[in-house]
A and B are shown apart, each in its own frame.
Chain A
Amino acid sequence: MHLTQHEKKIAAGQLGEPLRIALEQQIGVGEFFGAERFVEISNVHVMGDYEVMGEAGKTYLENLVASGARACVPCTRNAACVDYDHAEQLHQSPALVENEREVRRLIGELGFATVETCINYQSVYTPRFREHVAWGDTGTVAYANGALGARTNYESGPAAIAAAITGRTPAYGFHLDEARRPNYRFVVEAPLRDVADYGAVAAIVGERARGYWNVPLIELRDASPAPDDLKHLGATLASFGSLAMYHVLGVTPEAPDRETVMKGATLLDEVSISAADVDDVYARGTPADPAVNLVVFTAPQLSLVELERLADLFADRKIANGSTVIVTTNSMMFDAAQHCGVTQRIKATGALVLQGVCWYIMDPAAMRKEFGWKRVVTNSGKLFNIIKAHGYEPVLRRTADAVEAAVTGRLP
């Protein structure tokens, strides 16, 4: 890789060992992918909690802090695995809680804002068009690249921290124009009216165009997506397809029209998605027995708009006896919802409103054993995919139907 004078100083250790080690790690990754240079980044978002990193990860952070490493750009932390106010109620182990508390402290010591959110783009930092950032959590990456036209690759925990320390990241993949052009086209004839509809479409697109380097162009015939819809679209594309980039024709900033977004790119496949195709996704995993005792609204964390809608849909009704409803958001949205009386309305139904977490990283497999949960109803396409790995039987439903399941204890 070509290094600037500043980067040569870092590589030579003239600016300290933490910077040298971080840059060396980045050069290794950059050269692997054929990067010719670094690109300066303005913001970092790191995914790292005790559940995912374990003791070795905690030691890694301790060593970084002890070495004097410090972020040189504004940074945020992704959703974590413990809501301290509900850890006991959810039977999370004291050891996990204490280790997570320590990981949070260490990440804060490195200069990250410990806001514990996977919707940083809706509540902390919204990068502008063509701004280079280094974000972890796949859903944030898909939103940055797709919805905002900012530029980032998947930056895993250690890589995001390295970028925070050096203020740069190797220029490959979605930092470059050529990688951002679509190579799949999906024409969605189905009407899309709910975030779950966008998740269902993303499931189809992700399965068909699976692969990090693929970029779908999605054309909506009967839909007008709001930011929360794009949030669920991107997060679910990432989950089903490991995708990091998408375009929605006439909606996202790099796709004002087909000619502009294609720029002569070649399509590998063109697919039409009908209402029946979307219904097929909803039918997956639908059980013969309609009984339900767990409904989760999460992945990504809910925005204030989503929380308000949820409160309206519950309409002062209580959740069914024996059922559990979990809602996750970040502290900023929680406080705003509290300020508006929304949190109180949701809690009054009997639902748990958690902050700073996303449910699927809270060791849901342990909760399944602890509480005897098996089936989970959700409006999140991402959760619908990922939770199977934790032994659950997921059912995807539109938000209003998921609320009805929560209230009645039965799938509508």
Chain B
Amino acid sequence: MSERFSCERGLGSAVEAPALVSLYTFSPRYDLDRVGGVISRIGHPNFGQSVAGKILVCPGVQGGIAGGWAFLMMKGRGVGFAGLVFGDVNPVMVQGAAAAGIPIVSGVDPDIFKRLASGTKIRLDPCARIVEIIG
């Protein structure tokens, strides 16, 4: 039986893709090689992992304005996220996702961080405010 996690807010179309789960707050400028689409921050638990075509699942965000362009840049290079699932979020991530056409939700049920592992396929439905484990 699939597991579902509610969210408080959402924007964009439904998408299915493997999850990339991080327990750390996310910053496109601090954490990513935006050219290659790889987690590049030294010491980051997901260091070296590709983000291309994955749905990022993490508790929060940090950093500034650069994220607004980062999603667009990465999508243009074919190394962008398929979707974004956050606990807490700031305007930059939502604005950047809107410009790049990437589905995004925030206020996800924190249980997801106990139940979901990277690589597991999930369905993100921003309109229904649901993240569902499907594989």
Q: Which residues of A line the B interface, CB within 8 A?
A: 25, 28-29, 31-34, 47-48, 52-57, 59-60, 136-138, 153-159, 173, 210-213, 238-239, 242, 386, 389, 391
Contact in complex: B65, A138 (CB < 8 Å)? yes
Q: Which residues of A contact B75 (CB under 8 A)?
A: 56
Taking CB atoms, residues of chain A closer than 8 Å to B98 are 25, 28-29, 158-159
B1-52 at interface with A (beta carbon < 8 Å): 9-12, 29-30, 34-35, 41-42
Known: A156-B65, A156-B91. 17 other contacts (CB 8 A): A28-B12, A29-B11, A29-B98, A32-B94, A47-B66, A52-B73, A54-B73, A55-B76, A56-B73, A57-B72, A154-B64, A156-B69, A156-B96, A159-B68, A239-B64, A242-B62, A242-B64
Is A32 touching B65 in the complex (CB atoms < 8 A)? no
CB pair A159–B91 under 8 Å, yes or no, is: yes
Point out the residue from A54, A157, A242 that lies within 8 Å of B90, measured CB to CB: A242
- Is the beta-carbon distance between A153 and B91 smaller than 8 angstroms? yes
Which B residues fall within an 8 A CB radius of A? 9-12, 29-30, 34-35, 41-42, 60-70, 72-77, 88, 90-92, 94-96, 98-99, 104, 106
Q: Verify B88–A211 contact, CB threshold 8 A.
A: yes
Given that A32-B94, A389-B41 are known contacts, is A158 also in contact with B99, CB under 8 Å in the complex?
yes
Complex contact B11–A156 (CB within 8 A): no
A158 touches B69 (CB 8 A): yes
Q: Determine whether the beta carbon of B64 is less than 8 Å from that of A159.
A: no
CA–CA, A59 and B73, complex, Å: 10
- Cross-interface CB contact of B91 among A29, A47, A59, A137, cutoff 8 Å: A29
- Smallest CB separation, B51 vs chain A (Å): 15
Flag if B65 contacts A137 (CB, 8 Å).
Answer: yes
CB neighbours of B9 from chain A (8 A): 32-34
- Give the CA-CA distance A409 to B75 in the complex, in Å: 44
Q: Are A155 and B91 in contact (CB under 8 A)?
A: yes
- Distance in Å from the Cβ of A382 to the closest Cβ of chain B? 10
**B92 x A154 contact (CB < 8 A):** yes
Measured CA separation A243–B71 after assembly (Å) = 21
The interface residues of chain A lying within 8 Å CB-to-CB of B106 are: 32
Q: How distant is the Cα of A155 from the Cα of B95 in the complex, in angstroms?
A: 8
Q: Contact: B91 with A154, CB < 8 Å?
A: yes
Q: Are A210 and B62 in touch, CB under 8 angstroms?
A: yes
By a CB distance below 8 angstroms, the chain B residues around A239 are: 64
Q: Are A52 and B69 in contact (CB under 8 A)?
A: yes
Identify the interface centre among B34, B35, B76: most chain A CB within 10 Å of its CB.
B76
Contact flag A156-B67 (CB < 8 Å), given A54-B73, A212-B91:
yes
Residue of B nearest to A235 (CB): B64
